[in-house]
């Protein structure tokens, strides 16, 4: 009987470990590494801030209790008009998420590539946790203006 309990216990732990690994949907870690290097080299924190995010702002999303959002020149240019119904290829947004105490929680990015968004979420140290088009990202962002939830298309 104790052998059966041990076997069941090991099986349960193995299943839990497998499920927790499966929760991370890091479909393109090489693409995530390339984008991490590119945004760090571009010093994304010096980019223009997204509309409504001129300073750190409270957040109820999974990205942290407060966030800062930065946009590249493609997004900034699109916001100047004319009216659009989709963000252009090359659009890149980077979000820094922070915990209650102000410490870094995550870095997340989304880049428009070939008409589709490439999502990445990294630890503050740059380890990719999610990449590609993981459902944890796409399900939440589906309600946004072409997947962007933080702000709308230009009027």
Domains of the chain: 26-141 (3.50.70.20)
Q: Is 131:117 a contact under the CB 8 Å cutoff?
A: no
The pLDDT value given to residue 152 = 95
The pLDDT value given to residue 13 = 39
**Pairs from 120-128 (Cβ < 8 Å, separation ≥ 24):** 120/31, 120/32, 120/35, 120/36, 121/63, 122/32, 122/36, 126/36, 126/40, 128/26, 128/29, 128/32, 128/33, 128/36
The two tokens of residue 144 are 């946004």
pLDDT one digit per residue (tens) for the chain, 155 residues:
544 334 344 433 333 333 333 456 999 999 999 999 999 999 999 999 999 999 999 997 789 999 999 999 999 999 999 999 999 999 999 999 999 999 999 999 999 999 999 999 999 999 999 999 999 899 999 999 999 999 999 98
């Amino acid at each position: 009987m104790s052998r059966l309990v041990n076997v069941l216990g090991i099986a349960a732990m193995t299943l839990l470990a497998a499920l927790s690994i499966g929760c991370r949907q890091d479909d393109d870690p090489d693409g995530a590494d390339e984008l991490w290097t590119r945004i760090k080299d571009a010093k994304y924190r010096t980019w223009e801030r997204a509309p409504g995010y001129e300073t750190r702002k409270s957040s109820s999303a999974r990205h942290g209790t407060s966030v800062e959002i930065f946009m590249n020149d493609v997004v900034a240019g699109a916001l100047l008009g004319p009216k659009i119904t989709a963000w252009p290829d090359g659009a890149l947004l980077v979000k820094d998420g922070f915990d209650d105490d102000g410490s870094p929680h995550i870095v997340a990015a989304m880049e428009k590539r070939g008409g589709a968004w490439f999502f990445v979420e990294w630890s503050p140290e740059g380890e990719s946790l999610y990449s590609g088009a993981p459902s944890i990202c796409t399900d939440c962002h589906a309600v946004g203006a072409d997947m962007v939830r933080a702000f709308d298309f230009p009027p």
